[in-house]
Amino acid sequence: MKIDIQGSRLRRAVGAAVTTGAVIASGALYAAPAQAATAPSVVAKGGYVMNNATGKSLYTKAADTRRSTGSTTKIMTAKVVLAQKNLNLDAKVTIQMAYSDYIVKNNASSARLIVGDKVTVRQLLYGLMLPSGCDAAYALADKFGTGSTRAARVKSFIGKMNAEATKMGLKNTHFDSFDGIGKGSNYSTPRDLTKIASSAMKSSTFRSIVKTKKYTAKTVTKTGSTRTMAPWTNTNTLLSSYSGTIGVKTGSGPEAKYCLVFAATRNGKTVIGTVLASSSATQRETDAKKLLGYGFGKI
């Protein structure tokens, strides 16, 4: 019996040695460490990256922790607008004094829209996503909400934003504003924001807007003449500093700190992700570049 056991052990040992030899010969032992690149360290308190084609997670850091999102909220604003039935991007919206007053009161980022000008929905979307215009966000919420008063229409529009988040199954996202200037319950997570952005990027109009570095709108004045606006510059500096960048949106605020939802395509593969609560505009870009590089290394 002992001989049989020893023989069995010997056969297993020989088998293991042969197998190990085959693995060494094939180079498979060295393949795993090469693939397992060390996950980068980022300053942002939250981060998430995924393969845009498959939805597979590539990186997580407090990916499901709720945080203030600043103007990355506007991704959902644009998504809701673009989902409207029979949407006419060339429909004109008259800029109201309320939008201008709102900007002044909140010291908010602005598309510098002129009261009384008629601006198309398409132009408002550019004004929303490039210079991060809270005036453009207000105009869109007023236009696409329902109700007999401006307050009712805005509330309705924010309701549509939350309904969309619920429909997408995002349990850690809630909006109480159309632009990210929250009232205490405007939050999301790196994972949820990345999913919102990935969904929004299915719209060709959205994709065209968020990859645009500069846009000049020609609006119609009260007298019917044409006003050429000062060019809007995209606040997403990755478009110029990281090859293959195709979007998406910056955000910042006293509570949100510095946020960035980003996407890039290389060799036909798209990586999309989010960093929340980084320490500066420069640092959020550095964090995003690290995560993009790491993401591309994993797909």
Catalytic residue, candidates 109, 132, 177, 198: 132
The residues with which 262 forms a beta bridge, in sequence order, are: 248, 273
Spot the catalytic one: 61, 68, 74, 290.
Answer: 74
Q: Which residues contact 291 (CB under 8 A, 6 or more apart)?
A: 40, 42, 47, 49, 59, 262, 273, 275
Q: Are 250 and 274 in contact (CB under 8 A)?
A: no
Place of tokens 């990256």: 49
132 is catalytic: yes
- Contact between 178 and 138 under an 8 Å Cβ cutoff? The reply is yes
Backbone angles phi, psi at 101, to 5 degrees: -60, -40
- Between CA 37 and CA 167 the distance in angstroms is 36
CA–CA dist 136, 113 (Å, integer): 8
For 118, list phi and psi in degrees, rounded to 5.
Answer: -100, 125
Instruction: Determine contact, residues 170/73, Cβ cutoff 8 Å.
Output: no
The answer to the question of whether 85 is labelled as a binding residue is: no
Separation CA 250–CA 262 (nearest Å): 8
Q: Is-catalytic flag, 71?
A: yes
Residue among 103, 113, 109 at smallest CA distance from 132: 109
Query: How far, in Å, CA of 175 to CA of 236, rounded?
Result: 22
Given 61, 68, 71, 198, the catalytic residue: 71
Catalytic positions, written as ranges: 71, 74, 132
* Binding site as annotated, residues for substrate: 249
